[in-house]
Amino acid sequence: MTSVRPILLVEDNPKDVELIFAALRKSNLANEVVVARDGAEALDYLYRRGKFQSRNAELPIVIFLDLKMPKVDGLEVLKQMKNDAALKVVPVVMLTSSREEADLVKSYELGVNAYVVKPVGFQQFVDAIKQTGMFWAVINEPPPEKTS
Amino acid sequence: MSAKPFDSTNLSGAAGALLALLGGAAMLGWWLQLSSLVRVVPEYSPMVFNAALCFVLAGSALLTPFSVAVRHRRITTVLGGTLVTIAALVLAEHLLGLDLGIDWTALHAWLPDSNPKPGRMSAGTATAFLMSGAVLIFATRVRRPWVGIAVRLMTLGVGAIGVLGLAGYLVNAPLIFPEYVFATIAVHTAVGLLLLALGLWSAWKRAEWARTPLLAREDDRITFAGATVLVAISLAAGIASFAILQGRVQTLVGDNVHASLTRRTDMFRDLIELHEVNARIAATRPAMLRNLRVIHAGRDDGSNIANVKAVVESFLKQGFRGIAYHDVDAKVIASGGAFVQAPAMAVTLATPDRPELLWNGGFLLRHRISLRDSTGEVGTMLAEQPLPVLTRLAQNVEGLGSTGDMGLCVLRGEQLDCFPQRLNQRAFSTPLVNSAGEKLPMTRALRGETGTIITRDYRQQNVVAAYGPVGDIGLGMVVKIDAAEVFQPIREQLQLALGLLFLLAAGGTLLLRSRIRPLATKLRESREQFRAVAETASDAIISADGHGNIFHFNQSAERIFGYPAKEALGRPLTLLMPERFQEQHLAGFQRFLATRQSRIIGKTLELVARNKAGKEFPIEISIANWETPEGSFFTAILRDITTRKDADDVLKRRTAELEAANKELEAFSYSVSHDLRAPLRHIDGFSDMLRDECGPALNDSGRRYLGIISESVEQMGKLIDDLLVFSKMGRVEMRQTQVGMDDLVKEVVRELAGETNGRKIEWEIHSLPDVRGDRSMLKQVWVNLLSNSVKYTRPRDVAKIQIGCSTRSGELEFYVQDNGAGFDMKYVEKLFGVFQRLHRAEEFEGTGVGLANVRRIVTRHGGRTWAHSKIDEGSIFHFTLPEAR
Which tens digits make up the pLDDT trace of B43-73? 778 888 999 999 999 999 888 876 666 777 8
Cβ atoms within 10 A of the Cβ of A35, count? Answer: 18
List, in order, residues 6 or more apart from B480 with CB less than 8 Å away. B257, B404, B405, B406, B407, B441, B457, B463, B464, B465, B466
Predicted confidence at residue B5, as pLDDT, reads: 45
H-helix or E-strand spanning residue B335: strand B332-337
Residues B325-351: tens digit of each pLDDT = 988 888 888 888 888 888 889 999 988
Beta bridge partners of A63: A8, A92
Predicted confidence at residue B68, as pLDDT, reads: 62
Contact assignment for A68 to B713 by CB distance below 8 Å: no
Cβ atoms within 10 A of the Cβ of A57, count? Answer: 8
pTM given for the model: 0.49
Contact assignment for A118 to B674 by CB distance below 8 Å: no
Mean pLDDT of B3-18: 68
Mean pLDDT of B827-834: 82
Cβ neighbours of A19 in B, within 8 Å: 681-682, 685-686
Share of chain B above pLDDT 90, in %: 23
Whether B207 shows a pLDDT value over 50: the answer reads yes
Residues B369-426: tens digit of each pLDDT = 988 888 888 889 999 999 988 888 888 777 778 888 899 999 988 899 999 988 888 8
Three-class DSSP category at B52: helix
Nearest to B673 among A98, A119, A125 (CB): A98
How many CA atoms lie less than 13 Å away from B175 in the CB half-sphere?
22
Highest mean pLDDT among B230-244, B392-406, B779-793: B779-793
β-strand pairing of A33-36 with A7-10: parallel
Contact assignment for A100 to B688 by CB distance below 8 Å: no
Predicted confidence at residue B603, as pLDDT, reads: 84
Predicted confidence at residue B54, as pLDDT, reads: 93
Cβ atoms within 10 A of the Cβ of A143, count? Answer: 11
Three-class DSSP category at B360: coil
Q: Which of B208, B224, B228 is nearest to B66 (CA)?
A: B208
Cβ neighbours of B687 in A, within 8 Å: 122
Mean pLDDT of B437-441: 84
Q: Which amino acid is at B111?
A: L
Flag whether the ipTM exceeds 0.85.
Answer: no
Q: How far apart are CA B192 and CA B195, in angstroms?
A: 5
Between residues B520 and B199, the one the model is more confident about: B199
Nearest to A122 among B669, B673, B684 (CB): B684
Contact in structure between B541 and B548 (CB atoms under 8 Å)? no
CB pairs under 8 A between A and B: 61
Q: Which of B880, B856, B881 is nearest to B866 (CA)?
A: B880
Whether B1 shows a pLDDT value over 50: the answer reads no
Residues B93-118: tens digit of each pLDDT = 888 888 888 888 888 888 777 677 78
Mutate to test the interface with A, among B670, B674, B714 (most CBs of A within 10 A): B674
Cβ neighbours of B684 in A, within 8 Å: 120-122, 125
B155-180 burial code (b ≥16 CB/10 A, e <16): bebbbbbbbbbbbbbebbbbbbbeeb
Mean pLDDT of B558-574: 90
Three-class DSSP category at B796: coil
Handedness of CA A70, A74, A75, A79 (dihedral sign): positive
Contact status of B114 with chain A (Cβ, < 8 Å): no
Share of chain A above pLDDT 70, in %: 95
Contact in structure between A116 and A35 (CB atoms under 8 Å)? no
Contact assignment for B684 to A120 by CB distance below 8 Å: yes
Predicted confidence at residue B178, as pLDDT, reads: 65
Contact status of B713 with chain A (Cβ, < 8 Å): yes
Q: Which of B870, B833, B882 is nearest to B853 (CA)?
A: B833
Three-class DSSP category at A22: helix
Q: How far apart are CA B228 and CA B513, in angstroms?
A: 13
Phi and psi for B94 in degrees, rounded to 5?
Answer: -65, -45
Candidate from A1-15, A111-125, B298-312 with smallest mean pLDDT? A1-15
Contact assignment for B674 to A98 by CB distance below 8 Å: yes
- Strands, DSSP E only, in chain A? 7-10, 33-36, 62-65, 92-96, 114-117
Between residues B1 and B57, the one the model is more confident about: B57
Contact assignment for B724 to A98 by CB distance below 8 Å: no
Give, as one character, the DSSP assignment of residue B675: I
Distance from the A3 Cα atom to the nearest Cα atom in chain B, whole angstroms: 32
Q: How far apart are the first and last CA of chain A?
A: 20
Q: Which amino acid is at B515?
A: R
Predicted confidence at residue B735, as pLDDT, reads: 86
Contact in structure between B458 and B434 (CB atoms under 8 Å)? yes
Cβ neighbours of A16 in B, within 8 Å: 678, 681-682
Contact status of B729 with chain A (Cβ, < 8 Å): no
List, in order, residues 6 or more apart from B434 with CB less than 8 Å away. B440, B455, B456, B457, B458, B460
Q: Which of B585, B595, B587, B584 is nearest to B623 (CA)?
A: B585
Contact assignment for A120 to B680 by CB distance below 8 Å: yes
Q: How far apart are CA B207 and CA B151, in angstroms?
A: 12
Contact assignment for A120 to B717 by CB distance below 8 Å: yes
Contact status of A98 with chain B (Cβ, < 8 Å): yes
Phi and psi for B651 in degrees, rounded to 5?
Answer: -60, -45
Whether A1 shows a pLDDT value over 70: the answer reads no
Residues B113-160: tens digit of each pLDDT = 767 778 888 888 999 999 999 999 988 888 888 888 899 999 999 999
Contact status of A116 with chain B (Cβ, < 8 Å): no
Whether A37 shows a pLDDT value over 90: the answer reads no
Between residues B864 and B396, the one the model is more confident about: B864
Predicted confidence at residue A148, as pLDDT, reads: 42
Q: How far apart are CA A122 and CA A21, in angstroms?
A: 13
- Strands, DSSP E only, in B554-615? 604-610
Contact in structure between B850 and B843 (CB atoms under 8 Å)? no
List, in order, residues 6 or more apart from B239 with CB less than 8 Å away. B167, B170, B171
User: ∠ CA(B383), CA(B389), CA(B392), 5° rounding?
Assistant: 125
Distance from the A68 Cα atom to the nearest Cα atom in chain B, whole angstroms: 8
Banded model confidence at residue B4, pLDDT cuts 50, 70, 90: very low
Query: Distance between alpha carbon B579 and the CA centroid of its chain, in Å?
Result: 39
Contact assignment for A22 to B685 by CB distance below 8 Å: yes
Nearest to A97 among B673, B687, B716 (CB): B673
Three-class DSSP category at B853: helix
Cβ neighbours of B727 in A, within 8 Å: none
Q: Which amino acid is at B241?
A: S
Predicted confidence at residue B3, as pLDDT, reads: 39
Give Cα separations from A103 to A69, A96, A100, B284 (angstroms): 14, 10, 5, 170
Query: Distance between alpha carbon A2 and the CA centroid of its chain, in Å?
Result: 22
Predicted confidence at residue A3, as pLDDT, reads: 64
Predicted confidence at residue B836, as pLDDT, reads: 77
Mean pLDDT of A64-83: 87
Q: How far apart are the first and last CA of chain B?
A: 70
Contact assignment for B682 to A98 by CB distance below 8 Å: no
Mean pLDDT of B607-615: 90
Contact assignment for B681 to A120 by CB distance below 8 Å: yes
Mean pLDDT of B716-741: 82
Beta bridge partners of B808: B811
